[in-house]
Structure 1
Amino acid sequence: MRVLVTGANGQLGSDVVARYADSGHEVVAAGRRELDVAHRDQVLSVIGSVSPDVVVNCAAFTAVDACETDVDRAFQINALAVRHVAEAARRFGAHLCHVSTDYVFSGDKGEPYHEWDRPDPRSVYGASKLAGEREAGEEATVVRTSWLCGRHGSNMVVTVLQLASEGRPMRFVDDQRGSPSFTPDVAAVIERLCVDRRPGLYHVTNQGSASWYEFAREVMAAAGHDLDRVTPITTADLQPPRPATRPANSVLENRALALAGLDRPPDFRVPLRGLVADLLG
């Protein structure tokens, strides 16, 4: 297939590009310089000239706290831009895969969220991403993922390893729980869904869950560091307080993958060990 990846320089986009290339597909990697999805004419022009079989939209405004004050930008990039990409995909016969987030949920549920749970975002970021899901359309593949970590960009694993190497205090909240997800595993599922051109919503995360505090300890264990260097705190203890509300529970159950008989990504501790070894290597 010929695949166009938007947001190709980002954490997930980089591994989506790598996955498709490794599988022998023709990949056009479009970072913001090559394609600013906020501009409709540019989106139509680029997608029309590339004529892809699949468009994977990884472009997003992911600065969660900044979204609270820059609401227009959040909705322009996370919602209206998806409208542009979906329009171009329909016009030129491409299958669209759009990437979304666990922030579409309130976090109030006492168990993992599945694809048929009702979204109820509590932040501008979450609301803009939910709007983007709706703009993608019924024929698109929508992939919700969470707590992304990978070789490229900034993430929890990189942060913990840096703090550990500098001997700095490590205080992480123990009252927010989620599904750590590793970009190569998410990219592999995206490829499979797009090869099959499967429409609809899928939760795609690594299996297992943790609080940020527990996740930090898992990173320390994988690196061979002293786990007692990590201290648990509550969200209320964060100084300064974060502008955007985080879901207390954003664990995503991969129910649609399971019911469809598709492989789910492995337990998060498996790729975690590989990423830590890679980053320290």
Structure 2
Amino acid sequence: MTQDELLLKPGAGWAEQLFLAPKCNLDILLEAVSVFHSNFMRAHSSATFGSNIIIPTIIIERAEAEELGAIEKEGAALTDDERAKRLDTAIGKALSEYYSYLANNTGSKPDPHLYSEHIRRAYFYMEFIAKIRPQTRAAINDNFCSQLTGVWTAFEVLCDDLWKSVLDSLPNIISEREKRSILHPFGKVGGLKPIRKAYETTFTPLGEPIMTTLNDPSLDILASLRHIIVHNSAKFDQQYLDSVKQFGARAPTGAVGAPLLLDSKTVDGLLRPVGNLCKRLIWGVEEWLYVQGHFPFPRRGRAPR
């Protein structure tokens, strides 16, 4: 069974385009970008928690078995302390090589195919256990749900922070009346409709690229999923089904009252586009501020993408 066939694998390939924070030249946006990146990668860390525990366990067991085999082959009479020391040394070396590999050090590395096999085995174990233990399948599904809500939160906070960063630097860009009509009673821009209203009101004229990003259906689907996860115990309701009907097979569906059951391919298809949309939003806001003349372009020209 290959990694692609393991639908319950906890990997988070959807985050790979954001392992590095999006490039941004404007100082007023840097904190918003930094906070977004931290929030986004926190969702990624949650996604990989299971395999990050299982893989070192596999490495420890393999290193211990190999060292015990070597000791037996040598026929050496070792005390318990000597035996334990050799095992600890072998395990420490194997783990050190693994973490060195993950850190992408330039020195000697172990065979990457071996560690790909460790990952495959970790996913296989999780899939195997989930098939025979419903509680494990439910826990993995909860993890998938957490990935969706975590990425939505990262997006929502980014929208609020970017918008407020612009208004703090350019307080007269919209009127106080418009600002009050946009802000939530708690002083935040939250929810997809208010976000779109805030950006449409603020980034005009020539804000079409920003609004094209914010009007992407991937955000509507994720917002609707987040709502049933948080407010309906991750079960389908009629409101959700009606709201996503227009998106066809892109949105998970099921009978009213049925649980939302996720797998890695579905989650990847839902979250990978959102990561790209977040980058486009950051760059769109930055570009708009330059084009409108609120800030001079960097000397070296526009920020590389």
Give the structure-2-normalised TM-score: 0.25
Q: Which protein shows a greater Rg?
A: 2
Bigger proportion of residues as strand: 1
Bigger proportion of residues as helix: 2
Structure with the bigger RCO (C-alpha within 8 Å, sep 6+) is: 2
